[in-house]
Chains A and B, each alone.
Chain A
Amino acid sequence: MRTLSATAAALLAAGVALAPATALAAPTPTPSPGATTVTKAGTTFLGATPLAAGQPVRVSASTGEYLYWAFPAAAGEIHEITATVALAQNRSGRSTWTVEVFDGLRRRQACTAGAQTPTADASARSVAIGCTLRRVRPWAEPWSADPLPGTYYVRLTVVEIPEPDLGLPIDVDLLVSTTGDADTSSDDGRLEAALVPPANAGTVLDTEPTVAPEAEEESGWNLSLTGWLPEAGSRWIWTTAGGVLAAVAGVVGFALTRRPSTRRVAG
């Protein structure tokens, strides 16, 4: 089933990859035209409501709730999260709000810009929260914490508040927008599997699995040939063009030195 869905996804992706994302490179975060508004939020990592970049969120909630959304990210993208929380009236004190972002492994992601934990006075009507994430890398060492392609989780909540203000109604507007282009070079490596966490219930194994002796490759020659050649890409074109230019320049240089001698012969 998994392979089936994977191939289906691949077929889909072929179409998606051909059409460049039109919602990219918006200077100010605006919802993509035609995107449907999400009116829900999850309350756990597992139950996070899926979002697409550019899809606006509008949800009413209670102060103190932990609201979760999940969005997919691809290599080369920079995501910007903007949220506005319309606060309840008659509050008793200041409140501090936060939007936290986690990657598919639930590792905390840093914000490079934006007011991640703003504080609202007791009289404030609303509070604006923002967070710009780092550019998603196509590959990173397993030991690093660099942002990688996969699922990202957004958690919005209040972190400091007088207890009597908990439970009051709020309205949350949130938008995840993508800036930056998805142009990454294959030389930077590639993540074999995106950081998409499994959602199935696990099974406890009884015995340690053994490696099935893998069928030996037919011969080493075939492998080494494909291994030697660099992958198809723009570097082939650049380098070939360079060679052609060098050849032309060589002929030109040769001609520059020959011409005076021919003139002398003619004279």
Chain B
Amino acid sequence: MDIATLRPVINKRWSSAVLLGLLAATTLAGPVPASADDKAEPIAEPPRVQLVLDVSGSMRATDIDGRSRISVAQQAFGEVVDALPDETQLGIRVLGATYQGKDKKQGCLDTQQIVPVGAVDRAKAKAAVATLRPTGFTPVGLALREAARDLGAGATARRIVLITDGEDTCAPPDPCQVARELAAQGTTLVVDTLGLAPDEKVRRQLLCIAAATGGTYTAAQSAEDLTDRLKQLVERARDTYTTTPAKVDGTDACQDAPLLAPGVYTDRESFSEHRWYRVPVRPGQELRASVSMALDRPIKPDHGVLLRATAADGRELVRGVDAGSGRTDVVSAGLRWSATEDSDDAERDEDATPTPTASSTSAVTTVCLVVSNMFSPAAGTAADPGMPVELTVDVVAASPAPDGPDLGRGWVLLLLLTLAGLLTGLVTGLLTRWWVATWRN
């Protein structure tokens, strides 16, 4: 081996050592900065929130700390507007604020946007809220639909905060159904609901709206509760809005399923439906996939979700499954899979492709992913639109299995080697003695 061949060896050793060190360092400190970067980077749009306030006749009732519901709501709105983060775009829509007549048809169209979604003029917004007087009907469904339109489409999640004290008096449209439709329209829309001194019917309705969109429900019993919660929700809109996952339509078979690159996707899947996707995986790469299915409607208590990865010919490679019982928001499962170096998958693919030109492409294994659910609808639950599915796909470098160690470690090893050395020394010594003795004679 001459110097010319030695040098690359040294360089290679050094660079690989440096690379290994870097890799180790990134795996050690990877999680926090990586996820923070991913979340912070691509967002250019400001967070958008729309407050929807019920100003129907029932808001006159004086049952919150001895004050009327509307005055409590007005005070809370004032404080929220004052504490509003600068970058947050806020709009305010009211329902049942103007129509004083008795005609239900007319009263159920009564909803206006009093502050358009955008950078907030604090004084103006507070003045607009302060002049509200409880008046008419409660067209919650219509107001939600309009609020979603006010917020517009965008790449980020948008939030509606609905504050009401009475159930919808204008169904149809059923507000819960409206919420489900809005959530299914593709862009992420979350409706948080706040009930002012709610009764059973209101609570049911608000819980249903919140569950349908992945929002929350709060029962406000005091002015302080309401203010704190409103502030928290507006702040949460700023903190938790992220880029919306890409929308994808899974198919019912693997052959024509969409090919997915690493990233987050959303889809909808109905009861006992299967959705297929495909992910190309190169040799030496590892496929990672996870799926979450949201329970956005009343279903029977037991539920489960199954994510399977299969080869193109239908052989199962690996599965991820989770099941549960009772109250939950999403059921999730995940899996990892990597082709081993000398796996027969690639070879088999190669055999299957008759054209010699395809030999370079056959090294890419296309893995099929299928998502299925074990949900059963409760009586009267609609199957359409399907339940939200969130699919995360990642393809990373595969982690090879560790080899057995070539060297040893530990006190037992030292003891063994010492004893072996001692024994060898003794035997050599005895042999030498015997040899010297015989030689002398």
Contacts and interface: CB of A to CB of B under 8 A. Distances in A.
Interface stretch (B74-82, B90-98, B234-242, B268-276): B234-242
B26 A6 contact: yes
Nearest to A194: B30
Contacts of B361: 208, 210-211
Interface residues of B, number: 135
B34 A5 contact: yes
Chain B interface main SS type: mixed
Contacts of B399: 139, 189-193
Interface stretch (A26-34, A78-86, A120-128, A241-249): A241-249
A158 interface: yes
A47 B239 CA distance: 8
A164 B425 contact: no
Given A203-B246, A204-B259, A187 B408 contact: no
Contacts of A235: 405-409
Interface in B398-422: 398-402, 405-410, 413-414, 416-422
Interface string B360-388: 11011010000000000000000000000
Contacts of B322: 107-108
Interface string B340-375: 000000000000000000001101101000000000
B186 interface: no
B130 interface: no
Nearest to A247: B421
Contact of B360 (A160, A164, A207, A210): A210
Given A211-B360, A211-B364, A225-B9, A150 B31 contact: yes
B421 A245 contact: yes
A258 to B, nearest CB: 6
Interface of A: 1, 5-14, 16-17, 40, 42-47, 49-50, 52, 60, 62, 64-66, 70, 72-74, 102-108, 139, 141-143, 149-151, 157-161, 163-164, 166-169, 186-211, 213, 218, 221-222, 225-226, 230-236, 238-239, 241-243, 245-258, 261
Interface of B: 5, 8-9, 12-13, 16-17, 20, 22-39, 41-42, 155, 157, 190, 195, 198, 200, 203-204, 206-207, 214-219, 221, 225, 228-229, 232, 235-236, 239-246, 248, 258-265, 280, 282-283, 286, 288-292, 318, 320, 322, 326-330, 332-338, 360-361, 363-364, 366, 390, 392-394, 396-402, 405-410, 413-414, 416-430, 432-433, 436-437
Given A192-B399, A196-B30, A253-B426, 8 more contacts: A13-B29, A16-B29, A46-B242, A159-B328, A189-B402, A202-B246, A222-B5, A222-B8
A74 B27 CA distance: 8
